[in-house]
Chain A
Amino acid sequence: MIKIAKVLDIKNVTKKFGKKTVVDNLTFSVNEGEILGFLGPNGAGKTTLIKMAMGLLKITSGKITVCGFDIEKDYEEAAQNFGGIIENPEMYSELKGITNIQIFSELYNDVDKQRIEEVVKLVGLKDRITDPIKKYSLGMRQRIGLAQAIIHKPKLLILDEPTNGLDPAGIKELRDMLRKLANQGTAILVSSHLLSEMELMCDKVCIIDKGKMIDIRDLKEVRKEGKTTDSGQTFEYSYDTNDNEKVFKILKEKNKNVFMENNEVHVQTTKSEIAILNRELINNNIDIYTITQKSKTLEDLFMETTTSLGKGE
């Protein structure tokens, strides 16, 4: 495999507001062509970290680099390489959409008229670009926000809740666009609460809570799990048959990890074991209608990790 360059590198970053530690010693990175989902409950410190990565907040301790440029020491070079949206992208509401984009694009080294046209088309605002922003809907504002973020073809795209206010079609468009950008090599950091969306969108997720790193996971691997031959891992399977009571009895004799739920039989076991069980059931003259392997969703992961911490308090 080719060595993947770290476009955004966050090392031992801590942020304190007064005595309150909001981001606590976080370390992770986003590589070229990678979409990293940044998850955490409200107040976890996502926006705070993103603001530090874009130079809006001073870093209390630790170091953030973008394409190798220190965000505090070489701010101008770093900023040339990132673009983004923080919370709601508030622009100059009296000005036309196009004027807003022009004002910002003039501050980058090489953005020409053509590029602006291209981006406007890309975010789907061609018809409304000469209206002042105050006449835009929430979703349109999100789109113009995205336009200003990608206008200079940044190597790193940071999006704080970009799906906020987008309609389902818009969300899909955004997903496709991000994927396209990632394929072109852009590193993308997205924070969002829409876990199912994140699942579809991201290559990796990073979960934080109360400023602390909880988990960082490669979603490609999570998805792959269960599709291959037995890895010895336990999964949950549910049976729907003509005689569930009987199935429960049979399985109970074989295996202890069985329970009934919603009139279905649930069993926790490994892949090779379930094949043996199936044969057994057929031999017992059971008609099996469906058998489902329940894969772990991101939501499960999220709830497990973050709420458990919440309970522990």
Chain B
Amino acid sequence: MKTLKLVKAEFIKIFARKSTWVIVILAALLVAFSFASNKIFSSVEDYDYYSDMAKWEIESLDNILSDYKDKTDNKSMLLVKMIEYKKSLLNEIKDMDIIHNEWKNELNSEYQTVKSNLLFLSLLKEGYNLSDIRKANELMYDSYVIEEEVAINYETKTEKELETYEKELKTKANELHEMLIGNKTYKDYLLREINGHKSEIASNSKLIQENKQEIIKINNKQQREALENSNKDLELSNERLNYIIYWKQYMVDKKINEENWKHSVIMNIIDYYSYSFKNDNTYTEEEYYKSDEYAEYRNKKLNVDYEDYLKIKDEEKQKVQNSFIKNVYAVENNININNGSKTILKNSSLVYQVIGVVSIIIAGTIVAKEFSTGSIRMLLIRPVKRWKILLAKLITTLIFMVILTIILFIVSFITTGICYGFSDFMTNDLNVINGKIAEVSFFIQMLKIYSISLIPVLFFVIFAFAVSTVLRSSAAAIALPLAGMLGGQIVQMLFYMNPKVWLSYTPIPYISLSPLLEGGSYADMISSMNIMYNMNISVLNGSLIYVILTVIILFITFVVFNKIDIKNQ
């Protein structure tokens, strides 16, 4: 009962100080600003990178041009020709508006290659030789990428064949030009892609048929097996292409453009899917021990045997598989997992640090200030045992931290909602457990993420409280834990760059826990790192370390506070 009254009194004391209000309001503003800043500054980021690059390149070409323009020798004339041509190509980029149509980026490089090839072909026809062209290109800082193909074609093909080759190139250039400069949309691009895949499938199928006919005829077992294997690969490739077609068609049907969050999720799906194909070539035991990968482990003095290697591979596969499942589920069930308000709210670690800094300031002063003002004597002559007074102060600090967390969460929630929309919060969050999707209400997910992320913060707050009590100096009680919490993150980063086993028993890998959670920067490396280094890093173990340290620190604090003489200072 008295402890409760003391807690109430502590709150009265904390909020009687203007400084408390100031730091809480500052913290709220900082958090609000950090969430709104992307929105506020987004117009600044929207500068046209591609046009700028083109402009810059034209300028540097002009510089070269001014040196050679008036020269009449053959080589200079060639250079001038090549520069002028390149300039016209670069000028076209400005009209493409790639910055708002990312899909044009790839087409553009294809277009540049085709157009370059056309130039080389005409230059060769005019009688320039390839080495001169190369030298000229060098003078213009290798603006062109020269493909051998043109030269080979020029030398090997008959005149007629060459004509058709040139025609083909021209048609392709025109078609690409139409895609890039005309008012084509992302949908047109997708349809073009789908057509490309379809023709690839058709040619693959044709090849498969031919191979099959061949197989029947061939008696040589080895040759037959080679063909069978190549057929297998072709079939797999077709399967993959069909899958990609499915998703691209999906985007066409659902009118999904590049700005839609589903676009990037679908791109991820395709990546994960393709990865699982590539990843099938796991080394056999013999191959593994001869591989560079193994050599590298040996270099680092790590003992990773074949079994470990398989485990690591397995983990990786599992991770990709989980992400794949999750992304597919997200698109099909319309749950934005990529850059909606939810994701923005989830991935901000600034909030935890702000909570930490403010709570550390409170924890660092709550005991030390009583000593520095001398009011501790007035407090400790009451009929309450000392440990109860200290406990009340600890409880007050913790309640303060909870209230602050709630306030800052509400601030982040509202700012994010205003900037990026509230509707996203109503959809559920996705967890993958044992290869199955589980939907979790967003708020429960947030509660979980906050609880885990705040474990180290809580530790540093209690540490501040302990220093405040034992050393009775606010300055030390604020500075030490702040250095630990903020500076510790650098040490933590160094640990993940170069792990040491004994450090895994300290709080260092866990200074900040949010990067260890799903989607965090360290999350993906932990499982393989654990196998390689024979460690056991996990959020659970980290929490355990903090619990043990907290118990020890609090025990010392209470014993000391119970024993000390309350002197003049």
Contacts and interface: CB of A to CB of B under 8 A. Distances in A.
Interface of A: 51, 54-58, 75-80, 82-84, 86-95, 99, 103-104, 106-109, 148
B375 interface: yes
B497 interface: no
Interface in B9-62: 9, 12-13, 16-17
B182 interface: no
A82 B13 CA distance: 25
A230 to B, nearest CB: 49
B16 A107 contact: no
A95 B13 CA distance: 7
Contacts of B544: none
| Leading 3 A-B pairs by shortest Cβ distance | A90-B374, A79-B383, A56-B566
Given A80-B383, A107-B383, A92 B375 contact: yes
Contacts of A103: 9, 12
Given A58-B565, A90-B375, A90-B377, A104 B13 contact: no
Nearest to A76: B383
15 contacts: A51-B377, A51-B566, A56-B381, A75-B383, A80-B383, A84-B381, A87-B374, A87-B568, A92-B375, A94-B13, A95-B12, A95-B13, A103-B9, A108-B382, A109-B383
Nearest to A57: B565
Contacts of A86: 377, 381
Given A93-B373, A103-B12, A106-B9, A54 B381 contact: yes
Given A58-B563, A95-B13, A107-B6, A76 B378 contact: no
A94 B17 contact: yes
Contacts of B378: 89-91, 104, 148
A92 B380 contact: no
A56 B17 CA distance: 26
User: Which of A91, A94, A109 has the most C-beta atoms of chain B within 10 angstroms of its own C-beta?
Assistant: A94
B380 A55 contact: yes
B221 interface: no
Nearest to B6: A107
A107 B374 contact: no
Nearest to A94: B16
Contacts, number: 74
B380 A56 contact: yes
A76 B375 contact: no
Interface of B: 2, 5-6, 9, 12-13, 16-17, 373-375, 377-378, 380-385, 563, 565-568
B16 A95 contact: yes
A132 B385 CA distance: 28
A106 B7 CA distance: 12
A54 B190 CA distance: 85
Contacts of A57: 565-567
Nearest to B382: A107
Contacts of A82: 381
A51 B564 CA distance: 13
Contacts of B381: 54-56, 79, 82-84, 86
Contact of A77 (B5, B9, B375, B383): B383
Nearest to A83: B381
A109 B565 CA distance: 26
A138 to B, nearest CB: 14
A19 to B, nearest CB: 15
A76 B12 contact: no
A77 B382 CA distance: 10
A130 B568 CA distance: 29
Given A92-B13, A92-B16, 12 more contacts: A57-B565, A57-B566, A57-B567, A75-B385, A76-B383, A79-B384, A86-B381, A87-B374, A90-B374, A90-B377, A94-B13, A108-B383
Contacts of B563: 58
Nearest to B375: A90
A93 B369 CA distance: 12
A280 to B, nearest CB: 60
B12 A91 contact: no
Contacts of B377: 51, 56, 86-87, 90
B204 to A, nearest CB: 81
B12 A99 contact: yes
A56 B386 CA distance: 10
A51 B565 CA distance: 9
B214 to A, nearest CB: 94
Nearest to B10: A103
